[in-house]
Structure 1
């Protein structure tokens, strides 16, 4: 895949480095603000990432640079500034929409290599049952995926409530024959999700994760992680890219479920008989 977007170049810069949780937070922030990072001071980047200025310096050194100024010079060389003339001014709401469009564009570039999605889809399609985990902000993503997946997969089990029963439900799915678990993980990342994924892998499940970043806390407990960025321009994050990635996974799963089309046709027949839909 030939991906020359600023976010992709940053991802490549971080690959192969063992980063601390604080450094992953800085990396995640830089990917989200890829176009702005070459022009931010270490203090400004620290404020955006919610870390200390010395942490930014240590992060640059961990990447192999003498300090943050050297890292910033490198970023300016590989991502030269676009001329500001003629740029249109947008409202706050328009900026949020354009940021989501950029997230979707980056997802499209990522999907130029279908390998990770196809691998994930094979794992999920083969799992009987298929547990789907998503807590708090990610619960709607998990629920939406589960609703549609149940139309083509024989046994989908939604795990959208935490608490002491969560491990029990993972155990029950494993005893019933589950081999994989799908997790939607969005910020802020509940500690309970990280713990649940560690538990699921310990129980023998292969974990496929849709997360907002390859540097999310769940990465260490995922066998296959496919990133899809969230929008952060409004008071509450927006998650168009993770939702679309979930539908892409479903599409790929259908290719590995030989009776998927028959199940869909059967549903349509029964829905018509019941007068289920108004249109």
Structure 2
């Protein structure tokens, strides 16, 4: 695994100084061979000890080991996905370069998101759904787009799904939560007090809570039994939401596929429901 990918995945969890170091490494990986820890510190206006501590945070003895690992990864090509997408040469129409750059950024976000959601965590979430009596799902605003899509897919698999777009209705709904029920709460930043209250209510009733948020410390994660995390960032405000949505979609797609492949009965029911939907559309 490229050390640059690990750094990108953890960026949202970093302090301001750590993010400055991370951004420098990500943007200048091909020049890193010429930088000592002191030169890097001087370039960023920070202390040399901050560079050392940053390196140790990622499991290296010090900055020289981190630098060597990054240089080796670049030489092998492991870090090529981290090179700025603007370096991709244009092919044909100018849109080609733009499309390639956006695809590359989405690929980086999806790879970083995979890194921070280990297979054991994904399997645990899938098992909760498989064993659930009911699955409650809520997301407010733009988070509601993914919540609704996920609820629809689970319903197509025969999972009893309760989806609300109104927080008050969901608060009332989870009052009937039982021990095998699961609540999925979609919130990019995880800061809505209402959603935290709903999660707390579900846990009080003995239900399971899965939060779906960015890879940042946030109140909603503190109320969840399991957390699905998304790592996606870009300095351009019109690009960052696209990366978040793409990485989250990929994460939810993986869970859906796991559910499909774990049960032939669910796949059969999905086929039937798809056929019924097509008949309705054709009639």
Common fold: TM-score over 0.5: yes
1:243 aligned onto 2:270: no
- Residue 201 of structure 2 is matched in structure 1 by 199
The alpha-carbon deviation at position 130 of structure 1 amounts to 0.7
Q: What residue is the counterpart of 1:8 in the other structure?
A: 6
Partner of 2:112: 106
Give the structure 2 partner of residue 60 of structure 1: none
Task: Work out whether residues 136 and 162 of structure 2, in 8 Å CA contact, stay in contact via their aligned partners in 1.
Answer: yes
In the alignment, which of 35, 50, 57 is matched to residue 26 of structure 2? 35
Question: TM-score when scaled to structure 1?
Answer: 0.67
Q: Aligned match of 1:136 in 118, 124, 141?
A: 141
Q: Does 1:260 align with 2:266?
A: yes
Equivalent residues of 1:179, 1:205 under 8 A apart? yes
SS at match of 1:150: helix
**How far, CA to CA, are the matches of 1:67 and 1:199 in structure 2?**
45
Selected match of 2:152 from 147, 152, 169: 147
The answer to whether structure 1 residue 121 and structure 2 residue 118 are counterparts is: no
1:166 corresponds to which residue? Answer: 170
User: Is structure 2 residue 50 aligned with structure 1 residue 68?
Assistant: yes
1:140 deviates by: 0.8
Unaligned runs of 5+ in 2: 33-39, 56-61, 76-82, 91-96
1:269 pairs with 247, 259, 275, which one?
275
Q: Specify the structure having the higher radius of gyration (Cα).
A: 2
Partner Cα distance (1:210, 1:231) in 2: 16
CA deviation map 1:211-253 (0-9, x unaligned): 2216344222222223222344333612101111111111222
The alpha-carbon deviation at position 143 of structure 1 amounts to 0.7
**1:31 Cα deviation after fit:** 11
- For 1:222-233, list aligned pairs within 5 A: 222-232=224-234, 233=236
- Paired position in structure 2 for 1:221: 223
Two-structure CA RMSD over aligned residues (Å): 4.3
Per-residue deviation at 1:104? Answer: 1.5
Task: Check whether the contact 1:96–1:234 (CA below 8 A) recurs between aligned residues.
Answer: no
Deviations 1:163-222 (A, max 9, x none): x333212113x15x7522222231374232233323322221112233221634422222
SS of equivalent residue, structure 1 residue 208: strand
- For residues 90-128 of structure 1, the C-alpha deviation after alignment (integer angstroms, 9 at most, x for no partner) is 9888655432220112234557x5322111101012112
| TM-score, normalization by structure 2 | 0.66
Q: State the alpha-carbon separation in 2 of the partners of residues 231 and 76 from structure 1.
A: 27
In structure 2, distance between residues paired with 1:140 and 1:32:
31
Q: Which has the higher helix share?
A: 2
Give structure 1 stretches of 5+ with no counterpart: 15-21, 46-52, 58-65
